[in-house]
Chains A and B, each alone.
Chain A
Amino acid sequence: MAEKLLEIKDLHAGVEDKEILKGLNLSVNKGEVHVILGPNGSGKSTLMNIIMGHPKYQVTGGTMMFEGEDMSSLKTFERARKGLFLSFQTPEEIPGITVENMIRTSKQAITGEKAKLVPFRKELRATMKELKMNPEYAQRYMNVGFSGGEKKRNEILQLLMLQPKLALLDETDSGLDVDAVQIVSEGVAKFHNAENSCLIITHNTRILEHLKVDKVHVLMNGQIVEEGGPELIEDINSRGFTHIREEQNAAK
């Protein structure tokens, strides 16, 4: 029996008076890779932010369980310490905090243990090498002056260094050239194993090349309207979302 990692039931959430998620259901088991597809503005990024506990959004109904525990009262940093990780679509620039300092501070916060500098630095260097990142970037300020591709690689670097249980990847492949997508894709594949899970928002199937996708969800208008296996990606790639939208309207 597969172990449930994330279970979202009838989730209603939004910002101020505007409801964005309207009764969303989603369940991810341990060891699985899930993909969320959906047209622009359907609420994909909002869902990621809400799972991570962004204070900007209010949850007005439904439940979110992580490893069987209700997450509603947990703050963002507590969710991260439980094993959630969000790879941002547009990572923030933080002047004055080096990549090394940031990741080391995070690692210590999450594990509750001191990360000794020498072994930590060794691990960081090795991981950066795998992601074809210039080792000098460890001493640069977080994302300051990084290109779009460098920022995304920096997100995957954090993913690999922090080893969360659930990785939320919000368009990690957007705005990247082919080579960069390849590196990011390999990075995600390296991270994934039977003990962790990925929930991926993408418009680009290339990032999935090195992964075995278990389930695909189509998010439209704040709800999951269709679910299926990896074949659904092909279907949407060739036919778009229009037919699903029409089916939805017909059902109403």
Chain B
Amino acid sequence: MAAKKKTYIDDIERTLYDIKNEDHSIYKSHSGLTEDVVRDISARKHDPKWMLDFRLKSLEVYNSLSMPTWGPDLSELNMDEIVTYVQPDAKMAGNWQDVPEDIKDTFDRLGIPEAEQKSLGGVGAQYDSEVVYHSIQEDMVKQGVIYTDMESALTEHEDIVKEYFMTLVPPKDHKFAALHGAVWSGGSFVYVPEGVHVEMPLQSYFRLNAAGAGQFEHTLIIVEKGASLHFIEGCSAPKHNVTNLHAGCVELFVKEGARLRYSTIENWSRNMMNLNTKRALVEKDGIIEWVSGSFGSHISMLYPCSVLHGENARCEFTGVTFAAKGQNLDTGASVIHAAPHTSANINTRTISKAGGQATYRSAVKVTKNADHAKCSVNCESLMLDNLSRSDTLPTMDIEGDEADIGHEAKIGRISDEAIFYLTSRGIDENEARAMIVRGFVEPIAKELPLEYALEMNNLVNIELEGTIG
């Protein structure tokens, strides 16, 4: 095990995330947010009329809502300076060779095409505001699986998009949902027909290259009755010295008896505000499994929500958050038990070091008709030094009868005795600390797809470097 890990560490360096390409975009919207900007984006994207109306309505909602008054301080974000739409100089390609050289290099370095060959059933890659590459294995197409970018979906499967788009996360939900509704661009669309099991995961990778820009991709996934899917989402960006904004939206519809696993490894650069909204609607006997790794960004607010809408619907949430210097990562999960006999299992680990602030925030709600709901929350935090902060803020609102709700929270530091124990076995102090941290996130790492588990391990190692003394 140790040997395998070592070779991997040699292979990857953080610097690869930081390589920024020259900005070759062919079009950028004016910075700031006005009706003209929204109309312009809509026209460039050849939206149908209803989508333009939707955007304008969202803009109205955006202007009527105030900034959130809880959570991390977002005052650094100046929407007048954010460029909401950056069109790369590339057409959507179905063939990797057709992707422009510099963009291709970026994704090559991140291992995307390689992963596609090895273990994925389909891949999408978004660069700034537009998807530049999408592919899916042919046998899946034959089974009726649709995996494409949102723009193509809007043209080719307009009825489905219209039926679902922002119904689960309506623009009035919060200010950044409204912003998303107004300026969304890119993202992936997946439709898995009834009874179809997608054997290999599909993966979308989002890369934000342009400085001072926003990325507002929309991911819409529908898994029909008795079908199953594993979807993987990766995100990264190079370092810039101005604020970038990510306000994506993910809507997942898990139908009766269906199963969806949604894995994310987010590694945004430290100038990113990550204000993402993710929600799943789970019908009778359906299962949503979230696996979420938050490592990057300057500020994150991310609380994937599962609405357990049908009897026996289930949610498994597994998350890890690592906040280092200059990071304020406010993450967690939310579950709404809206039907009888629904169950949820939330298991998270947060780590903070070098002044980083990590907050676990969760909300569990059991509605009146949801009797016999079962929910277990386990969140553990580890602070690596005295400069760092960890908070745990769970809320519960139980109206249903016979609910079985459990919450367990632990906040701690690496104990000197544990370090002494490991060093007394010949392991040096740095490695001992790294082992303890890796051990701490192990229950989460084993839920991740292999490549991502290795990547997380690697990130944990990098994050620990130089912090120990």
Residues of A whose CB lies within 8 Å of any CB of B are 49, 52, 54-56, 75-77, 79-81, 85-86, 88, 91-92, 94-97, 101-106, 108-110, 114, 117, 141, 158, 162
Residues 397-418 of B at the A interface (beta carbon under 8 Å): 415-418
Interface centre among A97, A110, A162 (most CB of B within 10 A): A97
User: Which of B13-21, B154-162, B338-346, B436-444 binds A?
Assistant: B436-444
Residues in B neighbouring A52, C-beta threshold 8 A: 420, 424
- What residues of A have a CB within 8 angstroms of the CB of B418 in the complex? 92, 94
| Residues on A with beta carbons closer than 8 Å to the beta carbon of B421 | 88, 91-92, 94
Q: Which residues, 422 to 460 on B, are CB-close (under 8 Å) to A?
A: 422-429, 431-432, 435-436, 438-443
Contact at A104–B2, with CB atoms within 8 Å?
Answer: yes
Chain B residue at minimal CB-CB distance from A91: B421
B residues within 8 A CB of A76?
420, 423-424
Q: What is the CB-to-nearest-CB distance from B66 to chain A, in angstroms, rounded to a whole number?
A: 42
B425 engages A106 (CB within 8 Å): yes
A residues within 8 A CB of B439?
A: 94-97, 141
4 further A-B contacts with Cβ under 8 Å, apart from A97-B435, A103-B425, A105-B435, are: A77-B424, A94-B435, A97-B442, A106-B425
Looking across the interface, which residue of chain B has its beta carbon closest to that of A80?
B426
| With A92-B417, A94-B439, A96-B439: A108-B429 Cβ-Cβ less than 8 Å | no
Q: A101-B1, A104-B2, A114-B3 are in contact. Are A109 and B426 (CB under 8 A)?
A: yes
Tell me which of A88, A104, A158 contacts B1 (CB under 8 A): A104
Residues of chain B at the chain A interface (Cβ within 8 Å): 1-3, 415-418, 420-429, 431-432, 435-436, 438-443
Q: Which residues of chain B have C-beta atoms less than 8 A from A162's C-beta?
A: 425-426
Distance of A171 from chain B, by nearest CB (Å)? 16
Alpha-carbon distance between A212 and B456 when the two chains are bound, in angstroms: 51
Query: What's the minimum C-beta distance from B456 to chain A, rounded to whole angstroms?
Result: 13
In whole angstroms, how far apart are the Cα atoms of A88 and B420 in the complex?
A: 11
A79 to B426, CA, bound (A): 8
Q: How far is the CB of A78 from chain B (nearest CB, A)?
A: 9
Q: How far is the CB of A122 from chain B (nearest CB, A)?
A: 16
Measured CA separation A49–B424 after assembly (Å): 10
Q: How far is the CB of A210 from chain B (nearest CB, A)?
A: 25
The complex places the Cα of A162 from the Cα of B422 at a distance, in Å, of 13
Bound: A104/B418 CA distance, A? 17
Establish whether residues A106 and B427, one from each chain, have CB atoms under 8 Å apart when the complex forms.
yes
Using Cβ atoms and an 8 Å threshold, which residues of chain B touch A114?
Answer: 3
Q: How far is the CA of A29 from the CA of B114 in the complex (A)?
A: 59
Closest to B427 in A: A109
Q: Which of B2, B424, B429 has the most CB of A within 10 A?
A: B424
Chain A facing B: main interface SS:
helix
Please indicate the chain A residues that have their CB under 8 angstroms from the CB of B432 in the complex: 77
Question: Can you sample 13 A-B contacts with CB below 8 Å?
Answer: A55-B416, A56-B416, A56-B420, A91-B421, A96-B438, A96-B440, A97-B442, A104-B2, A105-B425, A106-B425, A106-B427, A110-B425, A117-B1
- Check if B423 sits within 8 Å of A80, measured CB to CB: yes
Per CB-CB distance, the 5 closest pairs between chain A and chain B, nearest first, are A96-B439, A96-B442, A106-B425, A80-B426, A109-B426
CA distance A227 to B194 in the complex (A): 82
Asked if B440 and A77 sit within 8 Å, CB to CB, the answer is no
B428 and A55 form a contact (CB under 8 A):
no
Q: Determine the residue in chain B with the shortest Cβ distance to A112.
A: B426
Which chain A residue has the least Cβ–Cβ distance from B445? A96
Query: How far, in Å, is A111 (CB) from chain B's closest CB?
Result: 9
The distance from the CB of A156 to the nearest CB of chain B, in whole angstroms, is 14
Known contacts A55-B416, A92-B415: A106-B426 contact under CB 8 Å: yes
Docked CA distance A109–B2 (Å):
11
Nearest-CB distance from B256 to chain A (Å)?
37
Most chain B beta-carbon neighbours within 10 Å: one of A88, A94, A141: A94
Q: Are B443 and A96 in contact (CB under 8 A)?
A: yes
The minimal Cβ–Cβ distance linking A30 to chain B, given in whole angstroms, is 20
CB <8 Å contact, A102 and B425: yes
A49 to B416, CA, bound (A): 13
Q: Determine if B428 and A109 form an interchain contact, defined as CB atoms under 8 angstroms apart.
A: yes
- List of A residues within 8 angstroms of B438 by Cβ: 96-97
CB of B436 within 8 A of CB of A80, answer: no
A226 to B442, CA, bound (A): 50
Bound-state Cα–Cα, A76 to B415, Å: 16
Residues of A within 8 A of B427 (CB): 77, 105-106, 109
**Which residues on B sit within 8 Å (CB–CB) of A54?**
420
A88 to B429 Cα, complex, angstroms = 18
How distant is the Cα of A116 from the Cα of B428 in the complex, in angstroms? Answer: 21
Q: Give the distance in Å from the alpha carbon of A201 to the alpha carbon of B329 in the complex.
A: 49
Report A-chain residues with C-beta under 8 Å of the C-beta of B428.
77, 109
| Contact residues in B for A80 (Cβ distance below 8 Å) | 423-426
- Chain A: minimal CB distance from B279 (Å): 31
* Inter-chain contact B426/A77, CB cutoff 8 Å: yes
Cα–Cα, bound, A63→B415 (Å)? 29
How far, in whole Å, are A109 and B351 apart by their CA atoms in the complex? Answer: 27
A153 to B439, CA, bound (A): 22
Q: Which residue on chain B has the smallest CB distance to residue A95?
A: B439
B420 contacts across to A, CB distance below 8 A: 49, 52, 54-56, 76
